[in-house]
Chain A
């Protein structure tokens, strides 16, 4: 049977419950929620005067009611040391989600640690150090002293290249302006660490270099643009599943208002099916291109639109660079940038040629061009909002493909205007505020590859799990286990010895090729199994945390509960580490270097916010953000006036483009010529193996997965990562639904559960990425682009049966995920 909670009533929120602002900390959309807390020995009643809603709860409430919450929205947690009831429910007054909850956010309460209800017992409560062959609990001072002592042996004032750092750069979750500043001040301020990487990629780099180099920030619109536009174009993204309430609350109304939809995706997703319901099938165009051929498509669209004269000549003349080449192609710029004419000449490709490369009808490419840019019958310009995400960001030829898409937006005058935008849909929220990262260099060091090659002595990891989410993961794990085991063995051999002797043993093991691994996280992650020191962090809600969403909406999530045990905000962990570094370096006689670690006297996360973000944005304070509630303010904030923070609805409305830092304020076009599969090894893999192993996330397996591996509702739906296969392909490899298969190629192997999918293209599968039970990255080769952007999407492998469907999947639904209308 499907998982059922067997809960048939819930405590009622009393009228005087405490209310706290919450922004969902999972995806970039950042839906507004309210957290209600009240004493454990109190509850409200069904009479209107006795509950927070003022509603008669003895009656059935209507559709879309505010006066209901699901069991997943309830828990019992600690607040100021006392047990309290907690309800976290969507906020109807938040303009982002208008009361809608996603399958992720609407389980925030259930996914809090509770010692009363027993949820999320996997959360880390105290620092742990590898001792006596396992991880043993210890104090913060003991753990941080060991980290500082070992780290200090491998850093010099002018050379910190043996310290490798993996650190999140995002908002939401356990990120945000407070925590990116805390970690950033330590590694980019006190130190200048070069060998670092970000949580989801093997280097410290932008995912959209070309858009920024062209002068266009990747989050330039407002969500309301989807309701104001004529065409919504979605590229390499599946927003119904991964930006759910942006899709439901902004895109669907746009389609219901008559907008057309273009989807560029090799796979038919549930987003396409839902758009057909909302807009009418005749108003939805799906271009199921051959995987990785997007550049040919976008270049053909631009060529056709230019030839038809549908470009926005005035916009190009006033807002874009006019004279030939502005930036030459080089090792730092994978294609030249410059004027429209220069770029058009370089990228020109016919619709017929693109149709052959992309494997879609030429007529459909022309239809897409018309839907994007053909002027209306009255001669007015057509508006188009374009959204893209990992399908191209983590796909073929990142720099050129993003550039070729931004070209289209610029040429048609769709950036900086109502109903326009060429934007990332995004993953996490944003929340980046750090000292400059120029010392990292461009291209940035390929950190995971350097670790494989034996580089690095000490590795600090902040909420990264390479084991689940990197490329070339088979090799990475093998080497990482070996190197960290060398240190574990040395620590085991030094059991019972003094701190000095222990540090010397660790240093010797590192010098013999070992790696000392420090893991800061909220749970004991997979890469954390290799760690020598584990430091427990808290998340949004267990601390005050500020982030901005995909339309740059800045909000404060208020702390509504205590963190587990002695877990701390990352910014305060970084501060503690800095203070221990200062002490240890002083003791070593390196007083000059030690003095660089001053300035971390923060008692709270708000102190870190004031030290970082607020210094650059003096109008923005916690009090003012709290007053702005779940609607917050769209960045950049312009002024504080009449008790309110005022912001910026969309960027570039003045036609001045500055993201590249050019003084002329002119946007650049990209000479993004199509050049086939760019990353090394991809074409050979395609030629050798039978199946495309396309990959990505699902509605319930997304940025919540680290918690949801311990959630019954989610793990009951997909006990193992699925791989969607066409029934004919299933016959070819002789498997049934639910069977476990091995996916293998020359780079590694992994496993998944077969999910029959009629709409899949033959020879093209789709596997869940980032699963704890089957790492898709095991079969992704190590090929990256010139700026070390990984290509996860273009992966080919063979498939063979491992086992009949296990008992754990015997009860689950293997039906089509597509909604069917009456």
Chain B
């Protein structure tokens, strides 16, 4: 299982097909986990609000490469063409996910036919239409999904993540 691309390199290039890169804007707020342990377990880190793109950038089922909450954390936003739980935008169908497999950190492929993210490392499959639920695989968590917001100009902002991202013990470094 060695000899594959290292995540830090991957994070700095586009690895999903198509899409234009959105600029990460807000500076990240670095919060060191220096509270007592129990509090650290329950307290949430402070997330940046980053613009990931505009609704007009998205076509149905065409993945748009993004990164959040910083450039070392690759992800994707998708317009699914049908309303899903957690979806935002006028049609309630825009979702965003980390594209790093939460099992061992391999970058995943998007399969437009099944609308799943697939890990070439160890064959895990995540369903982007079901909140990133692991359809099958070895990760012990479902795929981290972005909390998204769309403003009246159609700009899409990420404002949080609902699971720990692979390769970091704090989602915001």
Segment from B19-27, B51-59, B148-156, B160-168 that makes contact with A:
B160-168
Is A450 part of the contact surface with B, judged by Cβ < 8 Å? no
Specify which of B2, B120, B136, B141 is in contact with A713 (CB 8 Å cutoff): B141
From 1 to 58 in chain B, residues with beta carbon under 8 angstroms from any chain A beta carbon are 1-2, 4-8, 10-11, 30, 32-33, 36-38, 40-41, 44-45
From 100 to 126 in chain A, residues with beta carbon under 8 angstroms from any chain B beta carbon are 100-103, 106-107, 110, 116-117
Q: State how many angstroms separate the Cβ of A386 from the closest Cβ of chain B.
A: 23
Q: State how many angstroms separate the Cβ of B101 from the closest Cβ of chain A.
A: 9
Contact, CB under 8 Å: B124 / A819: yes
Chain B residues near A40: list those with CB within 8 A: 37-38
Between B109, B138, B167, the greatest number of chain A beta carbons within 10 A of the residue's beta carbon is seen for: B138
Given A6-B44, A103-B137, A820-B114 in contact, is the A41-B36 Cβ separation under 8 Å? yes
Contact, CB under 8 Å: A63 / B6: yes
Contact, CB under 8 Å: A60 / B167: yes
Chain B residue nearest to A810 in the complex (CB) = B85
Contact, CB under 8 Å: A813 / B163: no
Contact, CB under 8 Å: A11 / B140: no
Contact, CB under 8 Å: B118 / A821: yes
Contact, CB under 8 Å: A1 / B173: no
Measured CA separation A12–B34 after assembly (Å):
10
Contact, CB under 8 Å: B161 / A8: yes
Chain A residues near B115: list those with CB within 8 A: 815
Measured CA separation A326–B146 after assembly (Å):
68
Given A6-B162, A11-B33, A248-B122 in contact, is the A60-B72 Cβ separation under 8 Å? yes
Contact, CB under 8 Å: A815 / B114: yes
Contact, CB under 8 Å: A9 / B170: yes
Given A240-B123, A813-B130, A819-B118 in contact, is the A64-B104 Cβ separation under 8 Å? yes
Measured CA separation A11–B45 after assembly (Å):
13
Contact, CB under 8 Å: A68 / B166: yes
Specify which of A71, A240, A811, A821 is in contact with B131 (CB 8 Å cutoff): A811
Given A813-B130, A815-B125 in contact, is the A1-B166 Cβ separation under 8 Å? no
Chain A residue nearest to B106 in the complex (CB) = A63
Between A1, A101, A102, A107, the greatest number of chain B beta carbons within 10 A of the residue's beta carbon is seen for: A1
Given A70-B140, A717-B133 in contact, is the A60-B119 Cβ separation under 8 Å? no
Q: State how many angstroms separate the Cβ of A165 from the closest Cβ of chain B.
A: 36
Is B88 part of the contact surface with A, judged by Cβ < 8 Å? no
Measured CA separation A45–B30 after assembly (Å):
14
Chain B residue nearest to A7 in the complex (CB) = B164
Given A10-B164, A815-B116 in contact, is the A62-B105 Cβ separation under 8 Å? yes
Is B96 part of the contact surface with A, judged by Cβ < 8 Å? no
Chain B residues near A478: list those with CB within 8 A: none
Measured CA separation A5–B11 after assembly (Å):
24
Size bracket of the B interface: 35 or more
Chain B residues near A424: list those with CB within 8 A: none
Contact, CB under 8 Å: B166 / A7: no
Is B75 part of the contact surface with A, judged by Cβ < 8 Å? no
Measured CA separation A240–B136 after assembly (Å):
11
Contact, CB under 8 Å: A8 / B130: no
Given A8-B45, A717-B133 in contact, is the A62-B6 Cβ separation under 8 Å? yes
Contact, CB under 8 Å: B173 / A59: yes
Chain B residue nearest to A117 in the complex (CB) = B41
Specify which of B8, B106, B135 is in contact with A60 (CB 8 Å cutoff): B8
Is A357 part of the contact surface with B, judged by Cβ < 8 Å? no
Chain B residues near A595: list those with CB within 8 A: none
Contact, CB under 8 Å: B123 / A2: no
Given A8-B171, A43-B37 in contact, is the A102-B7 Cβ separation under 8 Å? no
Specify which of B45, B107, B116, B140 is in contact with A101 (CB 8 Å cutoff): B140
Measured CA separation A73–B169 after assembly (Å):
12
Specify which of A2, A43, A72, A820 is in contact with B140 (CB 8 Å cutoff): A72
Chain B residues near A240: list those with CB within 8 A: 123
Chain A residue nearest to B38 in the complex (CB) = A116
Chain B residue nearest to A68 in the complex (CB) = B167
Contact, CB under 8 Å: A249 / B123: no
Given A6-B44, A9-B33, A9-B40 in contact, is the A60-B168 Cβ separation under 8 Å? yes
Chain B residues near A57: list those with CB within 8 A: 168-169
Measured CA separation A58–B5 after assembly (Å):
21
Between B38, B41, B73, B139, the greatest number of chain A beta carbons within 10 A of the residue's beta carbon is seen for: B41
Contact, CB under 8 Å: A819 / B119: yes
Contact, CB under 8 Å: B45 / A9: yes
Between B1, B2, B38, B172, the greatest number of chain A beta carbons within 10 A of the residue's beta carbon is seen for: B1
Chain A residues near B163: list those with CB within 8 A: 4-8, 71
Given A103-B138, A822-B120 in contact, is the A9-B133 Cβ separation under 8 Å? no
Chain A residues near B103: list those with CB within 8 A: 101
Q: State how many angstroms separate the Cβ of B7 from the closest Cβ of chain A.
A: 4
Is B127 part of the contact surface with A, judged by Cβ < 8 Å? yes
Given A60-B173, A68-B169 in contact, is the A106-B140 Cβ separation under 8 Å? yes
Is A760 part of the contact surface with B, judged by Cβ < 8 Å? no
Between B106, B142, B171, the greatest number of chain A beta carbons within 10 A of the residue's beta carbon is seen for: B142
Chain A residues near B162: list those with CB within 8 A: 4-6
Interface string of A1-36 (1 = CB under 8 A from B): 111111111111000000000000000000000000
Chain A residues near B116: list those with CB within 8 A: 815, 820
Q: State how many angstroms separate the Cβ of A1 from the closest Cβ of chain B.
A: 4
Chain B residues near A43: list those with CB within 8 A: 33, 37, 40
Chain B residue nearest to A70 in the complex (CB) = B140
Chain A residue nearest to B123 in the complex (CB) = A819
| 6 A-B residue pairings within 8 Å (CB atoms) | A8-B171, A62-B6, A63-B4, A68-B168, A716-B133, A812-B130
In the complex, the 9 A-B pairs of residues with the closest C-beta atoms, listed nearest first: A2-B133, A2-B131, A817-B136, A822-B109, A813-B127, A72-B140, A819-B123, A9-B170, A60-B72
List 16 additional contacts besides A58-B173, A103-B138, A815-B116; criterion CB under 8 Å: A4-B141, A5-B164, A41-B36, A62-B105, A62-B167, A63-B104, A63-B106, A63-B121, A64-B105, A100-B104, A103-B137, A106-B140, A116-B38, A812-B133, A819-B125, A820-B118
